[in-house]
Structures are given as structure tokens and as C-alpha cells.
Amino acid sequence: MPESAYVFQRVDDQRELERLRMIEQVFDPASQRRLLATGLQAGWRCLEVGPGAGSIMNWMGEVVGVTGRVVAVDLDPKFLREVERPNVSVVRSDIRTAQLSQQSFDVVHARYVLIHLADYEVALTKMLDCLKPGGWLVLEEPDFSASRGIVGDERELGSVHKVNQAIAKMYATLRMDHALGLKLPALLQRRGLQDLIVENDAPLCAGRSGMAMVMKMSAEQLSEKYLDTGVVKESDLERYCRFADDPSAWAIYYATIAVSGRKAGG
Ligand SMILES: C[S@@+](CC[C@H](N)C(=O)[O-])C[C@H]1O[C@@H](n2cnc3c(N)ncnc32)[C@H](O)[C@@H]1O
């Protein structure tokens, strides 16, 4: 199996933690709503794949209570040294090779993880195998093909366009799909999941919004990778960051496609 090529693996830790916390601030309310819609409750067994800074993992631990359990699997759980709850355990592993008991979870959740895998189907098989019959899979992945600057300084808009192209090229070079989110509904349908709930959330955001800050922080963390694509120069990255900081500049930074589906049986 090829080693993980997770793009944020060798970046500055402190700034990565800040970026992950910003992602949580922006996206946790919708993720929590989607997870509660599955019937998540006391006593459930949950798998959180790629917990990042751990807010959803800890929140699920609170919801399922002492009779429930949360297992969190992360390639590098460096931000999870202090697990807050006794019913939550963290496993350091690549989800593709993780040792997990079959048919043992009521819900499996991953947000912004599969996009980082060229062979995401392998991870999906693992997640489905460890789901109980009748259990829920909840996936939330980006669609960067939705990214576009809308209103702002002409030159900055030009750089926003180029940075969006660089993001697409970076993922393509790694054989990852920058629009993976769009494929999720058909993917889960093909795998036989039932009662699919599909949401496509492409917020139009001003500079300095949480979403703009997430993408600015990503550009700072991945600047070398964006430059390596040959599509952008330093000056484009500077203009992109200025745009993301300007409350009068508007963009769709990316869309999130969320799909929930139930495994047959149960
Ligand atoms: C972009 S972060 C998202 C974090 C969190 N899910 C969130 O949305 O706030 C991706 C996370 O997935 C983890 N990850 C990436 N590839 C993985 C893999 N193959 N197996 C397990 N975890 C992985 C990373 O270490 C990181 O914690």
C-alpha cells in the first residue's frame, strides 16, 4: 500500500492546530446536526476517522455517554494528547490499514479525510466493514471545483483564480480528486447504502469570515506546494491572502458535500 501523501503532514504544528480549530469553529455545527439526524444517542459506538484537533470526537463522546464509546483513528494524532473523556480512545493508524473489529460501530464519520487519499475506495471499504448492519456512514468532503472569486480587486481576483487552479493541480499531481465531494453520493449508492441524505453547501463568503480564514491559513501552510505547481507566484499568494482578509471581497472558497447513508440489514 502506498504511504500516505497527506499534504498537511509536514507543516508548522502551531499554525496547523489553529487551522484545524478554525475548521471546527466553522463546520462543527453542520456536522453535529448531520450526526444527530442519524439518531446518535447514549450507548452508541462511534468511529471518528481523521479527528484532527478532536472536537467532533469529544462531542460524540459526550452524546453517547458512559454506556457508549468513541474510537478515533488518525494517521498522526499529535493534537489529541489530552483526550478529555474516558469513553473516547485514540488509535494512531492509517485508516486504510487500521485494525478495527468488523460490524462493530453504529456510526462512522469522516470530514475532509478521503480527499487526501488517492485510493479513497480502500478507506471506504474499511469504514463500511466495521459498520454494523443498519449503522450510519456520514461523510463530508470538499469540492474545490466550486471555488471562485466573485467580487473584489481585479488583480486579486486574478490571483484567486490562479490559486484555485494551483489547488486543483496539486491534488491532480498526487492523483487525488479535488472535487471528490461531488462523487460521494454515487459512490455510496454503488456500495449499497440506503436512505441517502445529500447536502451540497457552497457558501458565498466575505473576506475575514471563518471560511476565508481557513483557506488563507491553508495557503500559508501549503505555499510551497502551491508554488511547486508552477501555476502561481509568491505575488499571487500575497494577493490571495489580502483578498481573504478583505471584508468587501466575496468568494465561494469551496463547497462541502455531505452524504449520510445506512448500511443494509440490521
Ligand atoms: C484536514 S484534517 C480534518 C480534521 C477533522 N476531520 C476536521 O474536519 O476538523 C484531516 C485529518 O485526517 C487525518 N488523516 C489524513 N489521512 C489519513 C489516513 N490515511 N488515515 C487516518 N487519518 C488520516 C490527518 O492526520 C488529519 O487529522
87-119 tens-digit pLDDT:
999 999 999 999 999 999 999 999 999 999 999
> What value does the mean pLDDT take over residues 147-172?
98
Helix H, strand E, coil C: the string for 118-159 is CCHHHHHHHHHHCEEEEEEEEEEEEEHHHCEEEECCHHHHHH
Please identify, by atom number, the ligand 1 atom nearest to the C-alpha of residue 94: 20
Asked whether residue 191 is assigned to any structural domain, the reply reads yes
Separation CA 77–CA 136 (nearest Å): 24
The residues, any chain, with a CB within 8 Å of residue 235's CB and separated by 6 or more, are 159
> What value does the mean pLDDT take over residues 181-206?
98
Domain that holds residue 30: 13-262
**CB of residue 74 inside a 6 A radius of ligand 1:** yes
**Please, what is the average pLDDT of the chain?**
96
Q: What angle do CA 104, 259, 79 make, to 5 degrees?
A: 65
Q: Pull the grid cell for residue 34.
A: 448531520
pTM: 0.97
Asked whether residue 8 is assigned to any structural domain, the reply reads no
**CB of residue 113 inside a 6 A radius of ligand 1:** yes
pLDDT surpassing 80 at residue 122 = yes
What number of CA atoms fall less than 13 Å from residue 163's CA on the CB side? Answer: 31
208, burial (CB in 10 Å: exposed 0-12, middle 13-18, buried 19+): middle
**Structural domains in the chain (count):** 1
pLDDT band at 235 (very low <50, low <70, confident <90, very high): very high
Question: Residue 225's closest CA among 155, 162, 158, 171?
Answer: 171
Please give the pLDDT value at position 11.
82
Percent with pLDDT over 90 in the chain:
93
64 CA distance to ligand 1 middle (Å) = 22
Asked whether residue 3 is assigned to any structural domain, the reply reads no
Please give the pLDDT value at position 238.
98
Asked whether residue 5 is assigned to any structural domain, the reply reads no
Please give the pLDDT value at position 6.
87
Separation CA 253–CA 227 (nearest Å): 19
Asked whether residue 62 is assigned to any structural domain, the reply reads yes
Please give the pLDDT value at position 80.
94
**CB of residue 16 inside a 6 A radius of ligand 1:** no
> What value does the mean pLDDT take over residues 178-189?
98
DSSP-assigned beta bridge partners for residue 167? none
> What value does the mean pLDDT take over residues 16-21?
96
Asked whether residue 2 is assigned to any structural domain, the reply reads no
> What value does the mean pLDDT take over residues 203-214?
98
pLDDT surpassing 80 at residue 220 = yes
Question: Residue 37's closest CA among 136, 105, 133?
Answer: 136
3-class state of residue 251 by DSSP: strand
Asked whether residue 66 is assigned to any structural domain, the reply reads yes
Asked whether residue 6 is assigned to any structural domain, the reply reads no
Please give the pLDDT value at position 3.
82
**CB of residue 141 inside a 6 A radius of ligand 1:** no
Whichever domain contains 244, its CATH number is 3.40.50.150
